[in-house]
Amino acid sequence: MWKITGLSNLGSRVLKPMVTLTSGTHFRIVKLDIDVSALKALTLSEIEAYAIKKIEHQ
């Protein structure tokens, strides 16, 4: 089960926002294809679900 451990690049206009996830033994960094203004409207659990879907579809 993946859990968010961090969010980065939220204030950047150039870089895509990124989420760091951990499963307890593994870490993954996922670039989000969402602009920051739309990201701010999402809850943490919605961001987590979006990032997990991106991991599963890689």
pLDDT of residue 37: 82
pLDDT of residue 51: 94
What is the reported pTM? Answer: 0.81
* Contact yes or no for 28/39 (Cβ under 8 A): no
**How far apart (Å, rounded) are the C-alpha atoms in residues 28 and 19?**
8
**How far apart (Å, rounded) are the C-alpha atoms in residues 5 and 9?**
14
pLDDT in tens, the chain (58 residues): 899 999 998 888 788 899 999 999 999 999 999 887 888 899 999 999 999 999 998 8
3-state SS string over the chain?
CCEEEEEECCCCCCCCCEEEEECCCCEEEEECCCCHHHHHCCCHHHHHHHHHHHHHCC
